[in-house]
Amino acid sequence: MASITPTKNGPYIVKGLDKLTNPAKEFPTQEEQALCRCGHSKNKPFCDGSHVAAKFSGVKIRKETYDTIEFKGKEVTVVDNIGICAHAGECTKGVPNVFFSWEGENRISNPDKGDKEKIIATIRKCPSGSLAYKLDGKLHDKYFSEEEIFISKNGPLHIRGGVKLDDKSSKELISKEHYTLCRCGASKNKPFCDGTHKKIGFKG
């Protein structure tokens, strides 16, 4: 099993990974390699030591915590934890009637307002793993057959296929099979992406 470890105020150390890709190509891999998470490397996606000069901090700033909530419909149950959401927008683009309405600061899913298959297809596009679904009480949260790190354009690392997150923050995940990790250096929810790369105009 491949693993990824966020080092203190430094890069992600990736071990045992065979597939590292971005939209344009597949990178050669080594048994152990360091991926940038400060956002300053001139050799992205790899670390070049720039985190030292940048005085990068890997500390999680956000203090609030969120529970995983289930929204039960007649055919499908939506499982949601906003605490690890990367705000990629696949949910609201896919089935906006289902995702989301709001009650105060709580976001609410409405599974009976959409087609079951469209809801499932939309959830499976959620890169952060903040959404999953249940059918007949069984959780479905594993969608990838191969371990991979996909480097999204100007965005986070998409971790797929069960790459182990060797960090205490892994307990926050609904699914340990896929999730997104910050690489712009500005997320308030490190090591997870919280969508801040869009606000700061991260390029890489």
Within the chain, all domains assigned CATH 3.40.5.90 are found at 3-60+144-169+176-200
pLDDT tens sequence across 57-108: 999 999 998 999 999 999 999 999 999 999 999 999 999 999 999 988 889 9
Give the class (CATH, top level) of 69-140.
alpha beta
**pLDDT per residue as tens digits for the range 147-200:** 999 999 999 999 999 999 999 999 999 999 999 999 999 999 999 999 999 999
pLDDT band for position 142 (50/70/90)? very high
Contacts of 73 (CB under 8 A, 6+ apart): 110, 111, 112, 116
Selection from 139, 66, 80 nearest residue 110 by Cα: 80
pLDDT of the residue at 62: 94
What is the DSSP-derived secondary structure letter of residue 24?
S
What lies within 8 Å, CB to CB, of 68 at 6+ separation is 79, 80, 81, 174
**pLDDT on residue 106:** 86
Whole-model pTM: value is 0.95
Please give the CATH number for the structural domain made up of 3-60+144-169+176-200: 3.40.5.90
At residue 122, the pLDDT reads 98
Q: Where are the beta strands (DSSP E) in 24-178?
A: 26-27, 32-35, 69-72, 77-80, 99-103, 106-109, 131-135, 138-140, 148-151, 157-160, 164-165
At a CB cut-off of 8 Å and minimum separation 6, what does 165 contact? 3, 4, 159, 173, 176, 179, 181, 191
Tokens, residue 146: 């191969």
Q: Where in the chain is the domain with CATH 3.30.70.20?
A: 69-140
Task: Give bridge partners of residue 21 from the DSSP assignment.
Answer: 26, 150
Which residues, at least 6 apart from 125, have a Cβ–Cβ distance to it below 8 Å? 90, 94
The DSSP letter of residue 192 is B
| Residue 100 pLDDT | 94
| pLDDT score of 104 | 86
